[in-house]
Amino acid sequence: MRFSKNIASLVPSATLAISARAKKMRAAGESVVNLSAGEPSFPTPDVAIQAGLEYVRSGKAGYPPTPGTPGLRNAVASYVNQTTAHDRVAPANVLISAGVKQALFNACFCLFESGDEVLVPVPYWPTYLATLELAGATPVVVPTRWEEGFRLDVATLDRLRTPATRGLFLNSPSNPSGDVYDRDLMAEIADWARANDVWILSDEIYRRLYYEGESAPSIYDVPHADGRVLHLDGISKAFSMPGWRIGYAVGPEEVIQKMSALQSQTTSGAAGPSQDAAAAILSSPLRDDIVKDFRDILRRRRDTAVDALSGLPGLELRAPAGAIYLYVRLTETSDSMNVAERLLVQEGVATIPGEPFGTPGFLRLNYSVSDEELAEGLSRIRTFFS
Ligand SMILES: Cc1ncc(COP(=O)(O)O)c(C=O)c1O
């Protein structure tokens, strides 16, 4: 079959593929603990369910507005103003999409093109590379070190910068490592990007799943960071609603309008019931309590996982400050593909190897599964490494 050049280097999402394989093995009767997926395990909060149901029962059937319903754009603007140091976000600065994934796609297509270089720190969420390549831009991988908490170093950004550098991806808390940039580093990066006319695409989808406070530092906690900055977030992780497919981009109105134009020619507005459900949860007085309840359970699961795996031969780990993953370092091999495969086949535990994140020699484990599943998975991993 001949396919277009547009997708010459496209590969399916490794994380979704492994998770699908684990589900298939389970459906075939095998005992598999799935720690590979990137989704929290909680049910949809009731306030969102009620709003979604109301929309469905109302009989509304029209296309929702392309950039998002006024109710949801307004709710996102207020949410960002309330939970970051920023206080000037208006509904016109917000584009609602079918998940952060679509918002990222819109952003990359509107801002970058062939010949543009975009800096992507390791370890990275693989979709950044795939999306940039689809847009024809060149991802430039920025090295970081596990020993330094994969901390981004502005001197390295400077070294990699060329006249073609147009953008920089940030993802704090990180998928896969759970590491978090502090406010000072965010400010340093924002200053560097401003001085060099580089767009920052800050994917903050795990911002509220932060174990050292209410919210991990945001690019919008840097007071002057509202020029060439897109802040990306959604309801998939903090509110455990990935299947509802609502994400958003916040940024300068001119860019939001272009991204909306692109969306109008591709998918139109995000699904109506999902938009109402998202607006309800973001403006609910219960919002922060719901996140806190999730966070408390996740912190306990994280600590359980760290305790169970610490000191085993062949691996090293630390308790990450955010997100829902442990990123375990293999000390005796860099072939994590092979280790993940053996772990799945021998012990029936699905994890994601470090290769797709640009850091071979690691395993990513999602600890946001039920307590029973987590206990079983950890026990099997202990058997494997012992
Ligand atoms: C870093 C990161 N960004 C974005 C997403 C996707 O978010 P959404 O479900 O809103 O498309 C994920 C999902 O795993 C993620 O890990």
The structural domains of the chain, with segments of one domain joined by +, span 5-44+288-385, 58-285
236, 241, 357, 366: which to mutate for ligand 1, most atoms within 8 A of CB?
236
Max CA distance (Å), the chain: 59
Rounded Cα gap, residues 125 and 176, in angstroms: 7
Supply the pLDDT for residue 41.
Answer: 82
Task: Pick the residue whose CA is nearest to atom 7 on ligand 1.
Answer: 100
Q: How far is the CA of 163 from the centre of ligand 1 (A)?
A: 30
DSSP code at position 212? T
Say whether domain 5-44+288-385 belongs to CATH 3.90.1150.10: yes
- Which class for 77: exposed (0-12), middle (13-18), buried (19 or more C-beta within 10 A)? buried
3-state secondary structure of 337: helix
DSSP code at position 210? B
Q: How far is the CA of 90 from the centre of ligand 1 (A)?
A: 24
Ligand 1 atom nearest residue 171's Cα: 1
Are the CB atoms for 166 and 138 separated by under 8 Å? no
Rounded Cα gap, residues 30 and 371, in angstroms: 20
Distant-in-sequence contacts of 149-156, Cβ < 8 A, 24+ apart: 149/177, 149/179, 150/121, 150/122, 150/123, 150/174, 150/177, 150/179, 151/179, 151/181, 151/185, 152/121, 152/181, 152/185, 152/189, 154/188, 154/189, 154/192
Supply the pLDDT for residue 23.
Answer: 86
**pTM metric for this prediction:** 0.96
Task: Pick the residue whose CA is nearest to atom 13 on ligand 1.
Answer: 38
Q: How far is the CA of 205 from the centre of ligand 1 (A)?
A: 6
The one-digit pLDDT tens for each residue of the chain (386 residues) are 889 988 888 887 777 778 788 888 989 999 999 999 888 889 999 999 999 999 999 999 999 999 999 999 999 999 999 999 999 999 999 999 999 999 999 999 999 999 999 999 999 999 999 999 999 999 999 999 999 999 999 999 999 999 999 999 999 999 999 999 999 999 999 999 999 999 999 999 999 999 999 999 999 999 877 789 999 999 999 999 999 999 999 999 999 999 999 999 999 999 999 999 999 999 999 999 999 999 999 999 999 999 999 999 999 999 999 999 999 999 999 999 999 999 999 999 999 999 999 999 999 999 999 999 999 999 999 999 99
Question: Residue 33: CA atoms inside 13 Å, Cβ hemisphere, count?
Answer: 23
Distance of CA 343 to the CA centre of its chain: 25
Rounded Cα gap, residues 170 and 186, in angstroms: 9
Are the CB atoms for 187 and 159 separated by under 8 Å? no
Ligand 1 atom nearest residue 102's Cα: 11
Q: How far is the CA of 125 from the centre of ligand 1 (A)?
A: 8
Q: How far is the CA of 101 from the centre of ligand 1 (A)?
A: 6
Are the CB atoms for 68 and 269 separated by under 8 Å? yes
Tokens of 343: 């772990």
Cα–Cα distances in angstroms (integers) from residue 299 to residues 14, 303, 321, 322, in the given order: 26, 6, 9, 9
100, 120, 150: which to mutate for ligand 1, most atoms within 8 A of CB?
100
Q: How far is the CA of 386 from the centre of ligand 1 (A)?
A: 33
Ligand 1 atom nearest residue 235's Cα: 10
106, 237, 263, 267: which to mutate for ligand 1, most atoms within 8 A of CB?
237
Ligand 1, pocket residues at CB < 6 Å:
38, 99-101, 125, 171, 175, 203, 205, 234, 236, 242, 247
Residues 6+ apart with CB under 8 A from 187: 222, 225
Ramachandran assignment for 21, one of left (phi > 0), alpha (psi -120 to 50 degrees), beta (any other): alpha
Question: Residue 225: CA atoms inside 13 Å, Cβ hemisphere, count?
Answer: 29
Q: How many other CB atoms sit within 10 Å of the CB of residue 283?
A: 17
Rounded Cα gap, residues 251 and 201, in angstroms: 10
Tallying the residues shown for the chain, one arrives at 386
Q: In CATH, what is the architecture of 58-285?
A: 3-Layer(aba) Sandwich (3.40)
